[in-house]
Structure 1
Amino acid sequence: MGACAAPPTQQPAPAAEGAAVEWGYEGEIGPENWSTLSGNFATCGLGTEQSPIDLSEPAPSDEFGPLELNYAATPITVLNNGHTIELEYEPGSTLTFNGQTYELVQFHFHNPSEHTLTGEASPLEAHLVHRDNNGNLAVIGVFLMLGEANPFLAQFWDALPAAAGETEVEGEINVRDLLPEDLSYHTYTGSLTTPPCSEGVRWLVLRDTVTISQEQVDAFTAIYSGNARPVQPLNDRDLLTNADNVSLR
């Protein structure tokens, strides 16, 4: 499964159809050429609601309520999928947003962050990928800023696979421990940030950030440095925030 790719379903998905097509983040297979690599990737170039975007000037809105997270602990299996470091989640952990419940499928990381804050990227961005019963996706994004070492990451960061494959780590983790206490968010309708760039994804990028040490950043970039798609035009979409204080930080 690629970074921010659609989770597997019982029906063949575009990501699965295009799985054999090589793509990456530079050169002839880089983001500017994704749409030419396969007919299944055409939306990467033709789509008008693409992700990521720059999070500048979100409009305050009371249209959406708070995020309701019901996350349980999951065994630690760290996967290098050829494009990022990903941890799959056991069934049963959920996000409820705007009356719709989504199951947490996996979370993964990008360097630098794919979304930007008024033009500035953070060293890493984590994406928590959720899917509802109809296959619709909701992704929580959280920025990791340089600071103290992140204790959540420390539980498995020494086991990041340098090559494609899996590493199992003793114990369990709960990804709620990665997120800030305040779950205020900026939201918009976008896409997968990797081929096939399918649209209709509900993005929920947290306003508050968490920390990561330079040593932890270096451990990730030793494996994946620059696995981030450039920001895409907002076009006619609404960028909204449920935060009382809408300043970006």
Structure 2
Amino acid sequence: MVGAQAVDIVHVTQAFRSGGRDLPVLDDVTLSVGAGEFVALIGPSGSGKSTLIRLLAGLDRPLFGAVHVGGERVSGPHPSRALVFQDPTLLPWRTVRGNVAIGPQARGLPARDARHRVDESLELVGLADFADVWPAQLSGGMAQRAALARALVNDPSVLLLDEPLGKLDALTRRSLQQELHRLWRNRGFTAVLITHDVSEALVLADRVVVLSPRPARIQEVIEVGLDHPRDQSAGAFIALREHILGLLDEFAPA
């Protein structure tokens, strides 16, 4: 599945202005992600993971270095890169269908083509029967499925996931992990996931990238190398989890 590089982050340094001084966030980060690969980013809170995702999405630009997606330098948002946040951020005055239709409408697709894409996307995430429901009527898991449908409707080559399952209960989270894996396998997009859950990273990702505390550097890149579906009780899985937890423990305050 993995071929050419879909994502190239090259010597990226980022800082923000705060209180009249520069606050360093990322420090000389270099990472390549292959086309069709699933990579998870994990690290201490505030280590710059979301900043890195925003750079990939084109919402911010790096202070130094460059970000390339599909061989093109990222200079702003693009439909080929879709971002899913921790909160579904659905517009309450639009139905599920209306929320998913935002992308096709913004691109100016003809109404018939837009409706076909929306119906297909809702079918993908199991929400075809809830197309005309309002966001307030959805459970947390269903709302996040709607957010996924909204991200997938433009058939992105890169899906950026900023802790999309972080606020869900354990059973719903497990179900959506399986759903996310199925969508990734079937659609073939490149995925970059932020998570604080080491087991989640190991369940989903081909590689797990461990970031240091801010200003973030890449501490280690772990090749998971386990067949799907992954058994969390298996010795190899537990060993990988303990290794990553050990790295994160090194960053904990004394």
TM range (shorter): under 0.3
TM-score by length of 2: 0.25
Q: Which structure has the larger Rg over C-alpha atoms?
A: 2
